[in-house]
Structure 1
Amino acid sequence: MTKKASDITLNDMLELHDKDGDFLRLHRMIISSAEAWGALIRDLIMALGIERAKRFLLRYGWHCGVHEARIFKNMFQWEDDKEWVLAGSKMHDISGRVSSVPIKLNIQIKKGIFDVEGYWFNSYEATQYLKYFSHHHEPVCYFLVGYAGGYCSESFGKRIIFKEVACAGKGDEHCRFVGKTVELWGDEIADELVDYEQEDIGDELDRAYKRIEKQREVLKRAGTLSQSLTQIVLQGKGLDAIAEILGTTLNCSVLLENQHFETIAGFGDVTGYSLKSLMENKKALSDSQLGSINRMFQEHCATEFDLHEPFPFPHKRLTIPIVIRNQTYGFISVIKNEGEVGELEAAFLEQTANICAFQMLNEKTAIETEQRMMGELLDQLLTQPVENSYAAKKLSYLGYNLRQPHYVFIFRLEDPCMQLENEHAITAKRDDIINYLLKDASILDEKILLSSRLDRIHALVPESLIKKQYMPVKKYGEGLLKRLGNIVQPLKIVLGISDCCKDITQLNDSFNDSLKAIEIAKIKRQDNQVVLSSELGHLAILLDAKRPDELERYASKLLGQLYEYDQQYSSEFLQTLYNYLNNECNLYKTARFMNVSISGMRYRLGRIQELSGIDVSQSTTRFEIQMALEIYLVLGKIQFHKISK
């Protein structure tokens, strides 16, 4: 009588013999509890690690499936071969391992098609796993997957691989499986096929023991390294000593670079091994290393590099970032000309990177503390009278020479389009400017004092620094803003510069003059402007009583019509008026100065009076018009040379 898989019961398979202990119709099989299986799974994972335990259980399940498929082949007279295949799913239910419910059954033996999906409910394997471990990040029913693949492969006649795509052991509501032939899976199953390769449990245990011994040795050496590195930090020896300890321990070269890929410490021969020089000089790196470094450069300095030309100098290296408060402050690399860079180097490098981060944070904190103290003293110096002041004395004690001439620079940061989201972003840009100014001064072996507000930076710049640049102070300021432009984008900078202070008592007045220059630069509404306080002339007095925007409105009220006419018709009425007043209203002198005929000058003056209603015969009017013209000149609305008297 033919049999269907769905009709099989446990009674159909049982034949018990008291003497021989045979079970399942003379095939020697045993019944085991789920608890015992759970203990085995736990011990395998603890001894081998979950990845190796997974492969062992998969292969064990596979062999069980193959064996039971062979037993079932002749145990019943199957209605057809498909029923023999389906009996494996029924065996899951009968044995108590899991309740299997298929939702897709595309099994065509003659065509070689096997494509099934379904659910496993109440998996013993997932239940036992969760008794000893927390949810895993991937499915854990390894025996069930292996069994299904082994059984179906033997009964179907082609290699079938099952995958668990959902699992209670990783937090899903139910386990879910997919089974296909290797051909149907294609490349998707390539990684799983490796898990079915034959390995001996003894070899697994031996490798596990060796791995444990290796880890014990690594931990011992790591402890020694940690003690040495801690002592270096406590003794304040710095990054060079840290690089030396790591290099000596690993017998290799060590390179430390800042976030701009500039070398800050090293041990051994590291010449030409910086990340920047490797890319620029085409040193030997693998494609993966080239890609990694290229991504690093694009992230930190937005520079493109050619990755296709071969690099002639081979070496092995491992590089990881030094991170402080989720921000990269540098990179540490171990470099080997011989041998491989392995797990030991990676573990020690990560440990050392953490120590470097701690050391750099200490140095950064110390520098910030010093800068903050110097900044507070500078603010006192600029905003208060300095005679016998505490700030001046303290700065002299700290080694700063206040007796030399200085300029007061005030940088204002503006975000006209409101592109930066928060105050922290502006603060970060401001800190970048401060670091650049300090570095720029140190290159010239000069010291500058700096302080900051949210949107402002105050700098006391020695005249000697400007002289070393061999250019006027305004040109130096313009060049400085041009260099800072890339650093502060999308912010805009305006810079106010005072007259040179020959004496410390002039600093407070110079500071106020620079603030006035900043206000004028703001009104000009041009990007990255530099304004000297000396350019304000007598308007500096008015700026104490009026805001620059009020001065502009005052000037436009008198000269607005002439300004608009000049802009529209490219006439020179404002320049004519300016030269006429500065030549003491002398018609002939002004005509000669401007190369205009006398009749031409009379016509211009007449048109000026018609357009604006200005009567320059009145002394009060002349003064107001001269003042308005000076305002336009300072604000940059008109540009022409003043007459030398």
Structure 2
Amino acid sequence: MTLEELTERAYYLGFQLKDPYFLIAVHSLLQKPSVKEELEFNDELINELSAFMKDQRINALFGQKSGKVIILLSECLLLKNKMKKEIFCQTLMDHCQKKFPSRLFKLGISSTSLSIEEAPQLYEECLSALRAANLHQKIIFFDSLGIEGVMFQMKNMNPIQKFIHKMLGKLLEQDKSRNMELTKTLYYYLSNGCSVHKTARAMNFSISGLRYRLQKITDILQTDINVPSVGYQLYVSLQFLIYWGELDIDLNAQSEEEKTIGD
């Protein structure tokens, strides 16, 4: 949609085009829905969300693309209602789950822009954030993704998948029968700055037991995981596995553990 078309549509719908702006992509999970089922449900969802926005006294533009509901909002209206972006998105998620309890929802939220002309970029951002959402983190803000967010904008993820297989393939293969214990240990170790003591506390594990696992990981990967450049590449690779649901680690719980350790 061009800027002129967007402005015209906003005018007829009474949407106040006032910066700053952001986009939300909403995706509902259902096992193998038909195209018709998906379109019909998204129409119902848009009607429900439209009523929700009216109750909140917030103007929004709705659309459908690639099976997702896309919402354009003016953040100044949230600020006017004394509501932060993060709180609003959580309220929106709670509303969706309450109205459609048989479905699981994921939200991807773009960064904020002062120019409506950047709407196409915001659209790519909210889709990238949506790709990173999983069962543990159902609401993802593009701003929280860092370099992973840029990589999620790639249309072809095969190069990233091949890179991850090259970095972690041997470990993942040997770790399948162990409930991915070594892989999870590697993630916790890297996310705790390669500190044995912090990692042991975070995992409630003995120092000697942790050192044994780390040595085993090093032997399998045949690389020094303590080298910063190597550790960073491994960490980003593990982040992708978590986002894709191939490694079951709750990043929210991890953040809480880090806060506790910091205290």
State whether TM-score is above 0.5.
Answer: yes
The correspondence for 1:639, drawn from 239, 250, 253, is: 250
Question: Does 1:434 pair with 2:43?
Answer: no
Inter-partner Cα distance in structure 2 for 1:492 and 1:592: 33
The residue aligned with 2:235 is 626
Inter-partner Cα distance in structure 1 for 2:152 and 2:65: 22
- Amino acid of the structure 1 residue aligned with 2:69: I
The correspondence for 1:458, drawn from 70, 74, 99, is: 70
Shift of 1:620: 4.5
Inter-partner Cα distance in structure 1 for 2:132 and 2:156: 9
The residue aligned with 1:476 is 91
Aligned residues: 251
The residue aligned with 1:408 is 23
The correspondence for 1:539, drawn from 136, 141, 148, is: 148
Q: As a proportion of its length, which structure holds more helix? A: 2
The correspondence for 2:186, drawn from 574, 577, 595, is: 577
Question: Does 1:507 pair with 2:116?
Answer: no
- The C-alpha deviation readout for 1:260-312, integer Å capped at 9, x for no partner, is xxxxxxxxxxxxxxxxxxxxxxxxxxxxxxxxxxxxxxxxxxxxxxxxxxxxx
- Amino acid of the structure 2 residue aligned with 1:380: T
Inter-partner Cα distance in structure 2 for 1:575 and 1:559: 12
- The residue correspondences of 1:318-397 to structure 2 (distance < 5 A) are 379-381=1-3, 391-392=6-7, 395=10
SS at match of 2:31: coil
- The residue correspondences of 1:510-521 to structure 2 (distance < 5 A) are 510-521=122-133
- Amino acid of the structure 1 residue aligned with 2:235: Q
SS at match of 2:239: helix
User: In terms of mean alpha carbon deviation, does 436-445 or 585-594 score higher?
Assistant: 585-594
Change (3 A) 1:633 1:534: farther
Gaps of 5+ in 1: 1-378, 382-388
Inter-partner Cα distance in structure 1 for 2:13 and 2:155: 39
Inter-partner Cα distance in structure 1 for 2:190 and 2:250: 16
Change (3 A) 1:457 1:625: same
- Amino acid of the structure 2 residue aligned with 1:407: F
Gaps of 5+ in 2: none
SS at match of 1:445: coil
Change (3 A) 1:563 1:477: farther
Shift of 1:634: 3.0
The residue aligned with 1:607 is 216
SS at match of 2:2: helix
SS at match of 1:616: coil
Identity of aligned residues (%): 24
- The C-alpha deviation readout for 1:418-441, integer Å capped at 9, x for no partner, is 4x4x63x44332221221111111
The correspondence for 1:417, drawn from 19, 32, 35, is: 32
Change (3 A) 1:527 1:544: closer
- Amino acid of the structure 2 residue aligned with 1:434: I
Change (3 A) 1:570 1:417: closer
Calculate the aligned-residue CA RMSD, in Å: 4.0
Contact in 2 for aligned 1:616/1:622 (Cα 8 Å): yes
Inter-partner Cα distance in structure 2 for 1:410 and 1:417: 19
Inter-partner Cα distance in structure 2 for 1:583 and 1:431: 45
- The residue correspondences of 1:125-524 to structure 2 (distance < 5 A) are 379-381=1-3, 391-392=6-7, 395=10, 399-412=14-27, 416-418=31-33, 420=34, 423=36, 425-453=37-65, 455-463=67-75, 464-465=77-78, 472-485=87-100, 494-521=106-133, 524=134
Question: Does 1:558 pair with 2:167?
Answer: yes
SS at match of 2:214: helix
Change (3 A) 1:439 1:544: closer
Inter-partner Cα distance in structure 2 for 1:492 and 1:579: 28
TM-score, scaled relative to structure 2: 0.71
Inter-partner Cα distance in structure 2 for 1:459 and 1:622: 38
Contact in 2 for aligned 1:477/1:495 (Cα 8 Å): no
RCO higher in structure (CA 8 A, sep ≥6)? 2
Change (3 A) 1:639 1:556: farther
Higher radius of gyration, 1 or 2: 1
Contact in 1 for aligned 2:190/2:231 (Cα 8 Å): yes
